[in-house]
Amino acid sequence: MKTFDEFADDCLSHFCNRQTFYNKKKCATTYKQEKCYDKYRLKHNKVFMEDIAYEKFRKKVWLRDCNCEPIPQSALWRTHCSIWNILTVEEMKEVNAYIERDQVEFEALKLDVAHIDPKSSHPEKKYNPFNAIVCSRYFHKLLDEYRHPVTKVVIANTERKGWMLKALLKEKI
């Protein structure tokens, strides 16, 4: 975050840190710069606090699902992925074939916290650890696109949510 002096220098250079309309008369005054800087700080602090809340939420989900701290990617992704762990042996073979054929191992290695009810339609559940699972980005992407995690065919929202809930409850298919 910029200091007030850096912020004021930008104002005088006709650069708006808040990305609002620049007004040559008003933005040159110290009073306007101070008021604008206060709004800039509030927005910056809100984003910072949301990041802290999200990291706490993410850590809770990881501890529950994997009994470890969050890791961004791992060759052991199958151990940590909630979706993988509910598949049958036949489904695992089919998914492995897709991953190898489509050369998407890099997506499988990355581990995400995936929301069961999307944040966009359920913002009140954004930080609820019982609304999320740890899964590989490969499965996360398929489920976000409403595609079956094994066959890749289009599925309904209820089936998508069913997969996520089974993974949360660790129920084998």
Express each pLDDT in 75-123 by its tens digit: 788 999 999 999 999 999 999 999 998 888 888 889 999 999 998 899 9
Residues 104 and 161 in one domain: yes
pTM: 0.72
Residues 56 and 77 in one domain: no
Residues 30 and 101 in one domain: no
Checking if the pLDDT of 58 tops 80, the result is: yes
Are 164 and 173 in contact by the 8 Å Cβ rule? The answer is no
Domain boundary among 52, 67, 82: 67
Q: Residue 14: helix, strand or coil by DSSP?
A: coil
**CA nearest neighbour of 133 among 165, 156, 157, 159:** 165
Residues 149 and 98 in one domain: yes
- Rounded mean pLDDT of the chain? 88
Residues 115 and 50 in one domain: no
Residues 46 and 125 in one domain: no
Ranges 17-21, 26-30, 59-63, 167-171: which has the least confidence: 17-21
Checking if the pLDDT of 26 tops 80, the result is: no
Residues 148 and 95 in one domain: yes
Residues 87 and 151 in one domain: yes
Residues 61 and 131 in one domain: no
Checking if the pLDDT of 159 tops 90, the result is: yes
DSSP string, 51-99: HHHHHHHHHHHHHHHHSS---SB-TTHHHH-TTGGGS-HHHHHHHHHHH
Residues 27 and 82 in one domain: no
> How many structural domains comprise the chain?
2
Domain that holds residue 147: 71-169
**Would you call 20 exposed, middle or buried from its count of C-beta atoms within 10 A (0-12, 13-18, 19+)?**
exposed
Residues 154 and 124 in one domain: yes
Residues 82 and 30 in one domain: no
